[in-house]
Amino acid sequence: MVLTMIKPKFAQIKRFIIDKIKSGEWPEHSRIPSENELTVQFSVSRMTARRALTELSDEGILTRSQGLGTFVASFKSQSSLLEIKNIADEVKDRGGLYSCTPIILESIEAIAPIAIALGVEIDSVVYRTVLVHLENEKPIQAEERFVNPELAPEYLQQNFEHITPHEYLCQAAPLTEARHTVEAVIPSADICEWLTLYNEEPCLQVIRRTWSTKGVVSFARLVSPGSKYRLGGHLTFKK
């Protein structure tokens, strides 16, 4: 006898919304059903519908605007004021000694937020790495990266002590576009361990998605201690 696990109602609503987005029926910026509409459609409480929408918003799949409704988030590239730089080059340009410590290299099944970010099917296999970048033997950045194996099939075979993910991906799937979000965060226990932080000092987090001509190549989270890293750029304005 095979027992089938019945998903909670909020999880069923989340899957319904994700399937609509993946199929293209609900494209970017589409308004999705309200809490009240989902309550009626799935015969659930408003709290259950709200939980599904809130979790999908927290995962970056939906965006909510008070008074307007809930919409499918944008997953396309947008222009950025941040220049994509290879961290090894940044360290060397400052006269420092760059090194890298690989923590995790693995294949995993993509959960919904990762699948959508990479443009692949949910539960399909993607690559995940966690690396710590060091300057003069001191950790300055923890990098967690998810990679589309179809565009970089030999990614996990690289020796990241000698080549950075950025360098390899530029060779394997030349990058054409990128999107960044930047925010200050309090580091998780894992980040504190990777960066050897003894106090939960504020950190700078950059979420980065990169594209080649064939699609989304990678989705990365870069976290640096606020006391050890600065983010800068140079703008040139046309006259």
The phi, psi pair for 225, rounded to 5°, reads -60, 135
Confidence label for 184 from pLDDT (cuts 50, 70 and 90): confident
pLDDT tens for each residue of 206-224: 888 999 888 899 999 999 9
Instruction: Return the pLDDT at 75.
Output: 56
pTM of the model: 0.66
Confidence label for 106 from pLDDT (cuts 50, 70 and 90): very high
The three-state secondary structure class of 98 is: strand
Percent of the chain residues topping a pLDDT of 90 = 43
Closest CA to 218 of 84, 128, 156: 128
**What is the rounded radius of gyration, in angstroms, for the C-alpha atoms of the chain?**
20
| Count of CB atoms situated within 10 Å of the CB of 210 | 23
Tell the CATH topology of 9-72.
Answer: Arc Repressor Mutant, subunit A (1.10.10)
The H or E element that residue 63 is part of is strand 62-65
pLDDT tens for each residue of 139-172: 999 999 999 999 999 999 999 999 999 999 999 9
Starting at the earlier edge strand, list the strands of the sheet with 215-225: 98-109, 125-135, 138-147, 215-225, 203-212, 177-185
Confidence label for 230 from pLDDT (cuts 50, 70 and 90): low
- Residue spans of the domains in the chain: they are 9-72, 87-225
Tell the CATH topology of 87-225.
Answer: Chorismate lyase (3.40.1410)
Count helices and strands (H / E) in the chain: 7, 8
